[in-house]
Every structure is written in structure tokens, then in C-alpha cells.
Structure 1
Amino acid sequence: MEIALTQDQQAIVDAVKKVTDQFDDEYWSGKEERKEFPHEFHRAMAEGGWLGITMPEELGGSELGVTEAALMMHTVGRSSGGFAAASTIHINLFGPHPVKRFGTPEQKERILKPLIAGEDKVCFGVTEPNAGLDTTSITTFATKVDGGYRVTGRKIWTTSGQVANKILLLTRTTPKDECKKSTEGMTLFYTDLDKDQIEVRRIPKMGRNAVDSNAVFIDDFFIPDEDRIGEEGEGFKYILHSLNPERILIGAEAIGLGQNALDRAAQYAQEREVFGRPIGQNQGIQHPLAENWMALESAYWMMLRAAYLYDTDQSCGAEANAAKFLGGRAAFDACTRAVMTHGGMGYSTEYQVERLFRESIVLRILPVSEQMIANFIGQSVLGLPKSY
């Protein structure tokens, strides 16, 4: 059994790297400092055809698998842009999946083509302040009216809402207590993010400030029937098809970020001399970095295993969640160690590792917590009783 990238897969990695290499540390530090969306990077990735890597060829995409998308996002995460760069284009790879799978031919043409071309930007309106990971408890409600729906509700941690002109929005159309199952009665829409009628309020946060996060306030907003994806009441089932790919992609991005930090730490450890010798010669520096490498490599191959299973229509829930868990943990540990390796300079903005460290923390939180992943593995893999 050969475990290696194919020539085509390696070509993807090399081609993406040529794009990311155009955007250096100075570019990303400036975007972070100014809290400014990296439109130039987004445009370059669109022009390279990368925003449609998993989308249908007839709409301008490449129709490749999650494996190829993960390799692309791993390369992006390992670049100077880190998780900010990955977040710039992340939603294009998993967010429109329900449209691709359940949308009408007219919707696919109208929605996916502008996304692939980089003309539209979309945000994902699912998480709510009082629901969190319990998606079945969302309360944003769409009431049926002539020609469409009237929607009222609140969303939180909506990425890129400041620059997006579209929103993929999950709502309830039947109250939870009136459904036989809690997963029923939810409906998915892809519609205009009309900021004259919808308030999008930026959330101040620790890191990844080049890509905004937001609280979204929707009050009696009209959405036409043609913007509903699939059948009314089936929205939760539709977004489930995006969950495993998202976990795989987040794992890939996290691993890239961690390797980015590790590369910087190893380079600094070779160059920095104290007491007449490079600090990397000391086992107290060398061994922790070696352990970071091992953890990141282990997560990388778990991530690719999960992607392979998904692309071959095999069960991959455990592997996808494990890839996200291991990738996020390994990235955080590597970024922490990179700061410590730099000593006092690791706390400054000059060497970039403090920026990567701030980005790494969120990868242990989103899109699902480590504790919920452990619950899933315990219950679904080990056969232990449900703990929540």
C-alpha cells in the first residue's frame, strides 16, 4: 500500500503555493493591524480557479474531491496568511454544498457561478447566541407569506458578514416543540444579505482580525420562495452533508498553521545564539519542537484518511472529527511552542508567531468543541453511553 500524493495532487499543492507566495508577512500583518479583509488574496484565488475546486465543471469549477480541497487549504494555512488566509475562502468549499446537492438547476446557475468567479461573497448564518452547538434549538423563524417568507432572528459568529453580499441562512419554519424530531422543521435559504434591512455588527476579537466575525440581527426580513434551498423543513438534513467536509478542512488548515509556526521556530532556533551556541542545539529547545512535528504529521495523515473515506462514500464521521481535534490541538501546541522558542521576541509582532498563536486558539473551539468530539467518539466508536 502506497501512502503518497498523486502527481495531480502534488501539482495542486505547487500551484496553490505559487499564489500564496505572492502575499508575504507584511501583507498579512497589515491586514491584521487594519482589520481589513484581504480582497486581493481572495481575487487571486478566484482568478486561479481555486474557489470552485469542489464545484461542478459546467459552472466553472473543477469538480474535485474533498481530498484535493483539503490539500489546497492545508497549503493556504501553511502560508504567511495562516488561518486568516484560510478563512478568506473557507466557506466557498463547504458552505455551498447544500446548493450543489439539493438546489434546482436554476439555483445552481444563479448561486454557484458568481461564487466560483469570486464575484459574490457569502456568509454562513447558523450559530445563534442561545443555541450554540445545539443547532436544533435555533429560534430564527421564517413565517410563510405570499411569494416567500418573513424572517426574524439572531445569528452570531457569522464570518465575513461585513464584506459578504449573500447569506446561507438556517431557520425554523416549525417550532421545535411541534416537531416529532428535534431535527425536523428547519429550512435553509440562500439569499441577499441586504444591510439596509439586516444589521451586521462586528465582534471585537483576539485574532484573525483580517476576516471579520459578526452578530447578525434580522427583523421581519422578506426572502422570496426562489431563495429556499430544497424542501421546507429539511434544512438540518441538508447542512449535515457539509459537516464532515468542514471538519476535514478545518483540520487541514490547522495543521498548515501549526507547520507554519514550527518552521519559523526551527529557523529561529538555528539562527539565535546564546552562550556561544545556537539554542536549537539544546535538547530543551529541540525535543519539544520534534514532538510538535510528530503530532502535526500524525494529524495530517488522519486528515487525509478522513478525506479519502469521504470521497469514496465511506463512513468518515469519526475520522473527520478526529482530524479536526488532532489538527487543532497540534496547531495550538506548535504555535505556543513557537512563541516560547522565540522567548521575549515571540511576544512581539516582528516575528509573526504571536499572530499565529492568537489564530491557533480558535481552532480548538470552532466549528465544534473538543469535548463534543470526545462525546461523539466515545458514543459512536467506543459504544459508551450518551453523556449529554
Structure 2
Amino acid sequence: MVLLSIVVLLVVIGVVIYRRIPLPLGSAAVALTWYLLGYLTPAFWSLWLVVPLAAVLLILNVPALRRPVLSKPVFQVLGKAMPSMSTTEREALEAGTTWWEKDLFSGRPDWHEFAQIGLPQLTQEEQSFLDNEVEELCAMLDEFDIHHHRKDLPEEAWQFLKDKGFLGLIIPKEFGGRDFGPYAQSRIMSKIASRSGTTAVTAMVPNSLGPGELLMKYGTDEQKQRWLPGLANGTEIPCFGLTGPEAGSDAGSIPDVGIVCKGEFEGQEVLGLKLTFSKRWITLAPVATVVGLAFKLHDPDGLLGDSSKSDYGITCALLPANHPGVEIGKRHHPGSPFMNGPIKGQDVFIPVDWIIGGAPMAGKGWRMLIECLGAGRGISLPALATASGEMLYRTVGAYARIRRQFNTEVGKFEGVQEATADIASCAYTMEAFRQMVTKGLETGSPSVMTAMAKYHATEMMRRVVNHSMDVVGGRAIQHGPRNFLALPYQSVPVAITVEGANILTRSL
């Protein structure tokens, strides 16, 4: 009986650990089990069992004992086992801001505070832009024609995007931009995406991670005056080179380098950088006039003024696409015909003033990038996903009402209802947290929340599109101008992959 009682006690302890029952409650359960077993097996109350169990429960429940006896030794052992954290990794963890989601992830959310958060609202100017310019742009677009025939946007659509400020939605009015808020940007991109995903991606890039946002937050006054007006009116088309053949989601491992040295620029010897880089899968690269680059900066001769520091880390610079030595490679084909391609350069010399923010921002590029990823992760990609969810809710729902099999509307089949119900719930969820996240972006750059938004939105989009393919069936497979599903289905991997691969986010 003693052996059986020990087994029962161990089972209870195992359940407490496996179910992660809170410590005081779990200790009470273990103590009560031991007490009850003592009536069935009096020998179970013997000192050789009582004393160790009482000691363990006492240590676990008294912080003054638990910390020195248990917690400190365990942390010391784990500290030796864990790899050291690099400067880049530490900067990534410390970058960005937090909002109400901090309370949620802490496990102690203040729901009263949550209830006080107002929904994001469009200004009169933003609503007018949606009702007029965006509608006019959508009328120019035929995604089947863009995808299968042109392999590009119509020329009039390109010009309209430039002339009407679609490429400068985030740029302040003082530089000629629209200066729209996060919610307006999301609504605009969703509307465009409902008509043409290719056009939406084209408009998203200048308004998310790229030279515009980096310049606004970190650029020198001279850099802002030089580039922002052109970015706002579309005479300058930006791209940003971060991803390379050997560095995708692990952007901190980029092999691209910049060596501080002196060289000739415009007939004078100046302090600058010699860049060697190879970037791949860069959206808008084939048509870009200005290129943002991320690279690792080295100053072996201490020319930046700090002889004790030679490796500065990731740095961001901005240079014209036609600068000598910059090579825009052959266009990629990512499954949707938005402009995408490689950028290369070998020993390309640029003045040190072309570092975004100037020499004082040398080595601070990783923090800059992490804090600016919020637009792509929190606005652009969730906007694409929300557009897909709402469009397919409408079209697949309508199809299920008019398509008949076995003399019955397919929408009445329980299997189809299961899929369409999930489409509806995902569409509702994506719209809800689109509003939640863009409201949070009004307060700063909540990097954790935007990363989670990107992951969940694009995964829901994938689920919705797959459900839609199941319901629509053969009609969704055959390509044609009236097929509303084939091109979204083909483009899903783009959203899943970019701005941090979903499989990485899910693993973390």
C-alpha cells in the first residue's frame, strides 16, 4: 500500500506540473493528497516521507527560501548553458515601443483600460481620398490583364500613383506628402488590393519599410530636403535592399560590408565608404531611382574618430540607383508581376554623409530597421489579408448561394457551411485587429504587436483562400478574367514569406 500511495502522489505531482497549476494551489493539492493517503496507509505518514515533502513544499512557497535555494542555482546553471547574446540581438529586443498589448502578454490585462480605447477614425481628407482618388485608380486596373498580358501596371496607373500621392502617403505635408495615419493607409491598401494585388504591393513598399520612413525618423535635414519631396510626388521611386542570397529572416547575418576610407567624389577627396553588397528579391528594384541599403560597417583605421572601435555593425545608407557601380539585375518573377529584382555592387564608393542620419548613425541601422518594420507588418500585410478575407467572404458566399449540386445550393451542405463560417469569422477577426493594430501604431512602433499581426493575418488569409478553393472547386482552378480566386491563391506565399517568414515567427 505504501508503494501504491507513493505512485498516486507522484501522479498528482505530475498533473500539477503538466497542467501548470499555480504554485499555491498545486502545493495545496499535493498536501491534501498526502493527507488523505495517510488515512488509507498510516505508514505513509512516517517521517521519512513527511519531512522531505514538507521541506519541498516550504521551499517552493516561501520566496525568501525559494530564491537562494532553488531559483539562483538554476539560473546560474542555465546562464552557462545559454549562448551569449550579440549586440544585434540585444538591439532587436530593445527596439520599438509597447502599448496595451504589453498588459495582455503579461497575463494581467486591464479590460477597463481596453474598453476605453477608441476605434481609429478617418479624417475628412482621408475619407475623400478613399472615395475619389482610390476609386479612380481601381477603375484603371484589370488584374487578369496585368498578370497575364502586361506583366506590369498600365502606364496611366503608374502615372496616377505618382501624381496623386499614393507613393507618399506617410510623408509630411511640408515635403509634399499626404501625411495620412496608419488606419487610412490600411484602408487605402485594402481597397486597392481588392481590385489588384500587384498594384497594392507596388504602392505599399514606398509607404512601409524603405527610405521614406527611415528618412523621416532618422535622416538629417539635408537628406530630408534632398529626397522627401521627390518621394512624395513620385519623381523618385524607392526600394530598400535588406534580404540577400544568404540572409533572409536572419537579417542580422547579412554579409554585405562597408569599409570606411577616403576616396574621390565629385572631384574632391572625401571621407566615405566602400560598399560591397548583393541583395535579392528587392521589391521595386527594377524601376527604383533611389536605393536604401543595409550593410555591416567596419572602420579599421578609426577614421570616424573612435580608434578603439572598428566594427560598428549594421548601418543604413541611401544612394541613387544610377550611382557608379550600382547594378540592378535581371527582374525576378515572384508569382505576382510586381517589380522585384536583385541589386549588386562591388567596391562602390559613397560619401559618409549618405549614411541615413549621417556619421552619428553609423552602426545604428538594426534598431532603425526594427523600429520601422511596423508599417509593413502592422499595416501593409494585414491590409492585404483583410482585403482577401472580406472579398472572399462576399464572393464565395454569393457563389455558394447560386451554385447547385444534387439539386441543392452548395451553401446548404454542412461541409461547405463549415468552411464558409470559418471564412466569415476570419474576415471579422482580421478587420477587428486591423483596427486594433493601426490604433496602436498611432502611439508609436509596437514591434511585438505588429509582428504578431502580420503572422496571424497572413495565416488567416491562407486559411480563407484554401477554404475558398475548396468551395468554388473547378471554377477556381481554371484561369480566366472571371476567376476571382486563382491569382490570390498564387500570391499567398508572398505575404507568408516577406517581413519575417511565418514559420520563424511561429517557432519563436
TM-score, length-scaled by structure 1: 0.85
Match runs of 1:201-220 below 5 Å: 201-205=330-334, 207-209=335-337, 211-220=338-347
Q: Does 1:256 align with 2:370?
A: no
Q: Does 1:115 align with 2:247?
A: no
User: Hey, which of these two has a bigger chunk of helix by percent?
Assistant: 2
Cα deviation for residue 155 of structure 1 reads 0.8
Matched-pair identity in %: 22
Whole-angstrom distance in 1 between the partners of 2:410 and 2:323 = 53
Matched with 1:165 is 289
Residue 186 and residue 58 in structure 1: after superposition, are their counterparts in 2 closer, same or farther (change >3 A)?
Answer: same
Cα deviation for residue 7 of structure 1 reads 5.2
Residue 2 and residue 102 in structure 1: after superposition, are their counterparts in 2 closer, same or farther (change >3 A)?
Answer: closer
Give the stretch that moved more between structures: 32-41 or 283-292: 32-41
Q: Deviations over 1:159-189 (max 9, x none)?
A: 12111121111111129xxxx99x9522211
Q: Deviations over 1:5-37 (max 9, x none)?
A: 53526555434541343134xx22122124224
Matched with 2:375 is 245
Q: Does 1:185 align with 2:301?
A: no
Whole-angstrom distance in 2 between the partners of 1:11 and 1:4 = 19
Match runs of 1:20-99 below 5 Å: 20-24=137-141, 27-33=142-148, 34-77=150-193, 79-82=194-197, 84-94=198-208, 95=210, 96-99=212-215
Letter in 1 for 2:362: E
Cα deviation for residue 356 of structure 1 reads 0.8
Q: Deviations over 1:38-87 (max 9, x none)?
A: 5433432333333222211111113232232222222222x2202x2221
Whole-angstrom distance in 2 between the partners of 1:130 and 1:32 = 29
Secondary structure, in 3 states, of the residue corresponding to 1:363?
helix
Cα deviation for residue 196 of structure 1 reads 7.3
Cα deviation for residue 195 of structure 1 reads 8.3
Matched with 1:312 is 443
Matched with 2:504 is 372
Matched with 1:155 is 279
Give unmatched runs, 5+ long, in structure 2: 1-115, 264-269, 300-307
Secondary structure, in 3 states, of the residue corresponding to 2:258?
strand
Residue 162 and residue 38 in structure 1: after superposition, are their counterparts in 2 closer, same or farther (change >3 A)?
Answer: farther
Q: Which has the higher contact order (CA 8 A, sep 6+)?
A: 1
Q: Please, which of 388, 397, 408 is the counterpart of residue 277 of structure 1?
A: 408
Quick check: 1:159–1:214 contact (8 Å CA) kept in 2? yes
Matched with 1:174 is 298
Cα deviation for residue 215 of structure 1 reads 2.6
Residue 296 and residue 319 in structure 1: after superposition, are their counterparts in 2 closer, same or farther (change >3 A)?
Answer: farther
Quick check: 1:303–1:319 contact (8 Å CA) kept in 2? no
Give the stretch that moved more between structures: 155-164 or 39-48: 39-48
Q: Does 1:356 align with 2:483?
A: no
Give the stretch that moved more between structures: 220-229 or 129-138: 220-229
TM-score, length-scaled by structure 2: 0.66
Quick check: 2:275–2:345 contact (8 Å CA) kept in 1? yes
Residue 219 and residue 338 in structure 1: after superposition, are their counterparts in 2 closer, same or farther (change >3 A)?
Answer: same
Secondary structure, in 3 states, of the residue corresponding to 2:497?
coil
Q: Deviations over 1:301-358 (max 9, x none)?
A: 2232222122123x72332122111210111122222222221121111213111111
Whole-angstrom distance in 2 between the partners of 1:342 and 1:293 = 16
Whole-angstrom distance in 2 between the partners of 1:299 and 1:342 = 22
Give unmatched runs, 5+ long, in structure 1: 377-388
Matched with 1:323 is 453
Quick check: 2:285–2:328 contact (8 Å CA) kept in 1? no
Letter in 1 for 2:366: F
Q: Please, which of 130, 152, 171 is the counterpart of residue 246 of structure 2?
A: 130
Secondary structure, in 3 states, of the residue corresponding to 1:155?
strand
Matched with 1:6 is 121
Q: Does 1:106 align with 2:222?
A: yes
Residue 184 and residue 64 in structure 1: after superposition, are their counterparts in 2 closer, same or farther (change >3 A)?
Answer: farther
Whole-angstrom distance in 1 between the partners of 2:315 and 2:217 = 15
Cα deviation for residue 193 of structure 1 reads 1.5
Secondary structure, in 3 states, of the residue corresponding to 1:364?
helix
Quick check: 1:170–1:235 contact (8 Å CA) kept in 2? yes
Matched with 1:18 is 135
Cα deviation for residue 366 of structure 1 reads 1.4
Whole-angstrom distance in 1 between the partners of 2:376 and 2:321 = 22
Residue 184 and residue 76 in structure 1: after superposition, are their counterparts in 2 closer, same or farther (change >3 A)?
Answer: farther
Quick check: 2:385–2:430 contact (8 Å CA) kept in 1? no
Whole-angstrom distance in 1 between the partners of 2:146 and 2:350 = 34
Secondary structure, in 3 states, of the residue corresponding to 1:248?
helix
Letter in 2 for 1:186: I
Whole-angstrom distance in 2 between the partners of 1:310 and 1:7 = 14
Q: Does 1:341 align with 2:455?
A: no
Secondary structure, in 3 states, of the residue corresponding to 2:439?
helix
Whole-angstrom distance in 1 between the partners of 2:391 and 2:190 = 10
Cα deviation for residue 288 of structure 1 reads 0.9
Quick check: 1:149–1:224 contact (8 Å CA) kept in 2? yes
Cα deviation for residue 220 of structure 1 reads 1.9
RMSD between superposed Cα atoms in Å: 2.8
Quick check: 1:38–1:88 contact (8 Å CA) kept in 2? no
Matched with 2:462 is 332
